Amino acid sequence: MKKTKKWYDYLWIWPIVYFSLGYFNILFAWLGMIDFIVPLIIAGCGGGKAFCNRYCGRGKLFAVIPKLFKKENKKVAPGWMYSNIFRYGFLIFFLTMFGSMVYQTYLVFAGSASLKTAVKLFWTFKVPWKRAYTVTSVPAWVTQFSYGFYSLMLTSTLIGLIVMALYRPRTWCTFCPMGTMTQGICKLKK
Amino acid sequence: MKSKNIATVNKSVCVSCGACLDACPMSAISTPDGCYAKVNEDLCVGCGKCSRICPTGCISIIKREEQQNEEN
């Protein structure tokens, strides 16, 4: 029996559109805030993990890619990867990196640091991304946040793609910081 | 007529990611409270698609009698 496809089954297009737009104009990185705010609003309003379950474009993308290439890894993720210690540890690490990125944005806003037109992958490797700096009329801090946020989104997607190849398609979802946060909210509300 | 097998979720391991929801051809799985996946026993046909896609491997396919014994 085949299920009829709903509009949200095609949301795997969203991350592709997002990264493509950011490739040409870094300011589009702000659109990623949707993926940050909407899951929390849904979970906070009693909608549970509807975002992860239905509307997460990244999750859908990880499910679609192996199907497309007909190479679905059947290996279950190792236990530590979905243990609470790792999940909450990764969440803390992720939020710390997010905080550091916001602080960097503040420094640019305050004039204590200059704008860095590079994307930082895995919080370590700087990749020049100056061609995406096409709109120069906006305040520098707005652009700095874009670079920081795009780096965060790209890094997490790359981690997701790596674990997708090594284990079952949606292994990223087991320790996705947004998933951990929303599940935490649901457990608290219960 | 109900199937011989049924999916069962290990709640302590489920992260409620929703991979099983997408995979289930009968729409028998939901995450009612957002904490864990829940199987609708009337709809589940025990096909095992959810079990094969679950990234944590927390869904097992067992015999219905076994599940009833566990409940009693």
* Average pLDDT, rounded, for chain A: 93
Residue spans of the domains in chain A: they are: 7-189
| pLDDT tier at A1, thresholds 50, 70, 90 | low
ipTM: 0.84
With contact defined as beta carbons under 8 Å apart, do B31 and B16 qualify?
yes
Number of domains in chain B: 1
Percentage of chain A beyond pLDDT 90 is: 83
CATH for B42 = 3.30.70.20
| CA A88/CA A176 separation, integer angstroms | 10
Nearest Cβ partner of B31 from A3, A48, A171? A48
Which of A54, A58, A82 would you mutate first to test chain B, the one with the most B CBs within 10 A? A82
Residues in A closer than 8 angstroms to B25, CB to CB, are 1-3
Range of B32's domain? 5-71
With contact defined as beta carbons under 8 Å apart, do B52 and A167 qualify?
no
The whole-angstrom distance between B45's CA and the closest CA on chain A is 11
Q: What is the mean pLDDT of residues A66-80?
A: 92
How many CB pairs below 8 A link A and B?
93
Q: Count Cβ atoms below 10 Å from residue B41 Cβ, excluding itself.
A: 14
pLDDT digits (tens, 9 = 90+) for A96-128: 999 999 999 999 999 999 999 999 999 999 998
A99: amino acid identity, one letter: G
- For chain A, the maximum distance between any two Cα atoms, rounded to a whole number of angstroms, is 61
Q: Does A29 touch chain B (CB under 8 A)?
A: no
SS3 A156: helix
